[in-house]
Amino acid sequence: MSSVPNIPLVKLGDGTQIPVLGFGNGTAWYKPDRFSALNQDMLDMAKAAIAAGYRHFDTAEAYGTEAELGQAIKESGIPRQEFFVTTKIAQTFSEGSPEDAALGLENSLKRLQMDYVDLFLLHSPYCNKKMQYDEDNVAKQWKNIEPLQRSGKARSIGISNFRKTHVENLLKTAQIKPAVNQIMFHPYLQGAPEYAKWLQSRGIAVQGFMGLLPLTQLKGKHLDSTLEELAQKYGVSPSTLLIRWELDQGIIVVNTTKKQERMREYFAALDLKLTEEDYDRITKVGQETHLRLPGGELYNGRDYSPY
């Protein structure tokens, strides 16, 4: 890429600053055997993302890509403090009990070759061995994550895939409010814009993942013609439009790709300005139906309903 983009920073509720665009090391890069050898393609793509200008990276113990990301950052020669690194713990993937949060983070740090992460997330509210929601279990898990922020090994702590009722229950006992809730977020996910506003009103930032599903697994639905028309109007790609739609809602956007040229489309969203009418049009057309991509019960508890 000819130039490195200036990716804006936003401040989380705990004062930590985070770039509004992040590069994800899951989804397309997920390793079924997370303890397998380094994926050279993943390592090369992480290096390419760094060279392109990304400094915000998102991984997880469940993805099996922490080692690749850590190696890419180490080989970049760029100081660690210039990066914002997120990883996640899922109880079913660690040692299997709420008390294992500290051990899970230590193992992640070893794989990342780092002394700390910028954001440490509880990957799912369905975090017991039965992969079902258990309010008391989540509260215990969070209680054991809170000291990790106090220790400095996690600059910020947060949650992922939590629905409104899960957040409300957690806030009853949490001493430290989650700085972030990372959730699936795209126009077809009914209730997503309203849920984001609700979280933000309570000082919890929203990170969105799978924001480009209308162009991939959900392509061929009723939003296609609208995105194609607006893409021609603005002279950008549909992916640029969707990322801008998220950014306009204050969403911190995490996307991934296996094609380096896609990064240019993602960065173009930083300079795009949608009219209020066109933004509302994407929202209205998208929210006419509810389409949630099915995922493992670890992440959604087999619940595909709107937020």
Which residues, in sequence order, are bridge partners of residue 159? 122, 181
pLDDT score at 35: 73
Q: What is the mean pLDDT of the chain?
A: 92
Closest C-alpha to 26, from 226, 210, 181: 210
Cα 138 versus chain centre, distance: 20
pTM as predicted: 0.94
Residue extents of the structural domains in the chain: 9-219+251-257
How far, in Å, CA of 289 to CA of 40, rounded? 40
- The amino acid occupying position 223 is L
Average pLDDT estimate for 68-91:
95
The response to whether 186 counts as a known ligand-binding position is no
210-235 pLDDT, tens digit each: 999 999 999 999 999 999 999 999 99
2-54 pLDDT, tens digit each: 467 899 999 999 999 999 999 998 877 777 777 778 889 999 999 999 999 99
pLDDT score at 179: 98
Instruction: Indicate if the pLDDT at residue 92 is higher than 80.
Output: no
Q: Kindly name the residue from 63, 195, 266, 307 that is annotated as catalytic.
A: 63
In the chain, which ranges are E strands? Answer: 9-11, 17-19, 21-24, 56-58, 84-89, 117-122, 154-160, 180-184, 205-209, 252-255
Average pLDDT estimate for 164-168:
97
pLDDT score at 1: 45
Closest C-alpha to 68, from 94, 93, 45, 87: 45
State yes or no: is 63 an active-site residue: yes
CATH architecture of the domain 9-219+251-257 equals: Alpha-Beta Barrel (3.20)
Average pLDDT estimate for 246-267:
95
Instruction: Indicate if the pLDDT at residue 132 is higher than 90.
Output: no
